[in-house]
Amino acid sequence: SNRCNPFITFVLGGPGSGKGTQCVKIAETFRFAHLSAGDLLREEMSSNSENGTLIHDIIKEGKIVPSEITINLLRKAIHSSGNHKFLIDGFPRNEENRIAFERIVGVEPDIVLFFDCPEEEMVKRVLNRNQGRVDDNIDTMKKRLEVFKKLNLPVIDYYSAKGKVCKINAVGTVNEVFEKVRPVLAALRY
């Protein structure tokens, strides 16, 4: 393709809906760079940076880290990737994130994948994960679900109104869900 802008896919869905798992498979199959906002924040948190404590406390409460911090991490990762197709996993979380990304990075997403999953399934997946995340406990999970509904669903609605959202039913095995994602990605022209 002769486009100059990067091809941006936002990957959204509630906590535990399977965004990260599906992104790994999409990245392998379709050669996208996978940038997880949550992973970048967790790395920053454990790197003893000046924002480490702030990020830890916000994640523990299931709240949203200020846009400035997250967008800086994403911007650096985009520019150093050498790729031009991106999966931005778990971002933007709220309207402020969305507006700041479009202003600072200067592009809108080409498509938004929304992994739609029932709450009880998301809770089950998150509580079974056991990888030591400070937010994988029932108390924080309840807060993450509330923040998702209140702040992230409106972002999904915004892009839906622009015809950019592809909603995927996230129930089923990892491979079953991926077989629903595959044709969507295969149809893209970038």
Report what 125 binds from Mg ion, ligand UP5, none; CB cut-off 5-8 Å by kind. ligand UP5
- Residue 90 binds ligand UP5, judged by CB under 6 A: yes
Tokens 């702040």 found at: 151
Counting residues that bind Mg ion (by CB under 5 A) gives: 1
Per-residue binding string, ligand UP5, 114-153, x by CB under 6 A, is -----------xx--x-----x--------x---------
CB of 39 to Mg ion, least distance (A): 7
Instruction: Answer for the pair 86, 94: CB distance below 8 angstroms, yes or no.
Output: no
Q: Which of 6, 20, 52, 66 binds Mg ion (CB under 5 A)?
A: 20
Q: Which of 59, 112, 155, 156 binds ligand UP5 (CB under 6 A)?
A: 59
Instruction: Answer for the pair 70, 40: CB distance below 8 angstroms, yes or no.
Output: yes
Q: Closer CB to ligand UP5, residue 3 or residue 179? A: 179
CB-based contacts of 111: which residues, under 8 Å, 6+ apart?
9, 10, 164, 165, 166, 184, 188
Residue 36, H or E segment: strand 33-36
CB of 20 to Mg ion, least distance (A): 3
Helix ranges restricted to H, the chain: 19-30, 37-46, 52-60, 67-80, 95-104, 119-129, 138-147, 153-161, 174-186
* DSSP string computed for 114-142: EEE--HHHHHHHHHHH-S--TT-SHHHHH
Q: Closer CB to ligand UP5, residue 41 or residue 77? A: 41
Stretch of residues binding ligand UP5 (CB under 6 A), selected from 2-10, 56-64, 76-84, 160-168: 56-64
Tell me 149's DSSP state: I
Q: Closer CB to ligand UP5, residue 41 or residue 111? A: 41
Give the total residue count for the chain. 190
Q: Closer CB to Mg ion, residue 103 or residue 127? A: 127
Q: Which residues bind ligand UP5 (CB under 6 A)?
A: 13, 15-21, 37-38, 41, 58-59, 62-65, 70, 90-91, 93, 97, 125-126, 129, 135, 144, 172-174, 177
